[in-house]
């Protein structure tokens, strides 16, 4: 991330330096005076046209470089936004034992996710419910589904369209933490989020 930003800044600086060099070389070039050339002096006219074209090309390249520099700065910001917002969308939600109700901190996190989803209508979420290993395998698959559905219901209540939210359950089959203590069990009672974002860009919600 940081390395990427640095690389982008380098590109910006380099392109600016190049355009500055161009400008220095362009300025002393005398603009050919069309007055002394006669109408019949085809060569002089051609020279003038060529010089003009050259100047235009140079001006264009300067403008392009400036645009690129601005765009690079925007891209860096956009990429930062994508990373930040994706991280929020992916952040896990945790549950109590054998429960699917949302704790306060889970609700706050889902509020943040909902705001991002509302600001980015192309983004979809796959919500996967997980459980700890303490129940039966079959009940745990059902419980995981219930957790995913509870998350989906909450996001829908915040205005996110049904069509953008899919749910599934892996029960106790993919624990996030191994171990048979309460700490491991808590980490395993969770919903995970897969982010579908075909457009690639993400806009920050207006707060």
Angle at 124 between CA 140 and CA 158, to 5 degrees: 80
Contact between 186 and another protein (CB under 8 A)? no
Among 79, 166, 187, 197, binds another protein (CB under 8 A): 166
Contact between 158 and another protein (CB under 8 A)? no
Least Å distance between CB 106 and another protein? Answer: 18
Contact between 44 and another protein (CB under 8 A)? no
Contact between 125 and another protein (CB under 8 A)? no
Candidates 15-23, 37-45, 64-72, 163-171: pick the segment binding another protein (CB under 8 A): 163-171
Least Å distance between CB 161 and another protein? Answer: 14
Among 58, 81, 119, 146, binds another protein (CB under 8 A): 146
Strand order in the sheet with 165-171: 93-94, 190-196, 124-130, 165-171
Helices 2-26, 42-90: crossing angle, 10 deg rounding: 170
Contact between 18 and another protein (CB under 8 A)? no
Q: How many of the chain's residues bind another protein (CB under 8 A)? A: 22
Least Å distance between CB 119 and another protein? Answer: 24
Candidates 22-30, 37-45, 85-93, 161-169: pick the segment binding another protein (CB under 8 A): 161-169
Question: Is residue 94 classed as helix, strand or coil in its secondary structure?
Answer: strand
Among 98, 105, 111, 182, binds another protein (CB under 8 A): 98
Helices (H), the chain: 2-26, 42-90, 104-119, 137-157, 182-188
DSSP letter string, 95-143: --TT--PPPHHHHHHHHHHHHHHHH-TT-EEEEEEE--TTS-HHHHHHH
Question: Is residue 177 classed as helix, strand or coil in its secondary structure?
Answer: coil
Give the pairing type, strands 165-171 and 124-130: parallel
| Interacting residues with another protein (CB under 8 A) | 98, 135-139, 141-146, 149, 152-153, 166-171, 173
């Amino acid at each position: 991330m940081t390395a990427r930003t640095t690389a982008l800044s380098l590109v910006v600086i380099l392109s600016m330096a190049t355009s500055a060099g161009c400008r220095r070389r362009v300025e002393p070039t005398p603009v050919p005076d069309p007055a002394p050339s006669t109408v019949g002096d085809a060569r002089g006219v051609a020279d003038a046209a060529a010089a003009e074209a050259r100047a235009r090309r140079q001006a264009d390249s300067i403008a392009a470089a400036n645009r690129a520099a601005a765009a690079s700065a925007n891209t860096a910001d956009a990429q930062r936004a994508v990373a930040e917002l994706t991280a929020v969308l992916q952040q896990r939600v945790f549950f109590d034992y054998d429960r699917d109700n949302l704790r306060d901190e889970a609700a706050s996190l889902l509020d943040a996710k909902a705001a991002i989803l509302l600001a980015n209508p192309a983004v979809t979420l796959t919500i996967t419910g997980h459980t700890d290993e303490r129940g039966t395998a079959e009940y745990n698959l059902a419980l995981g589904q219930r957790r995913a559905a509870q998350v989906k219901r909450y996001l829908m209540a915040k205005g996110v369209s049904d069509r953008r939210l899919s749910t599934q359950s892996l029960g106790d089959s993919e624990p996030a933490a191994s171990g048979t203590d309460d700490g491991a069990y808590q980490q395993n009672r969770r919903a995970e989020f897969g982010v579908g974002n075909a457009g690639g860009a993400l806009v920050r919600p207006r707060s």
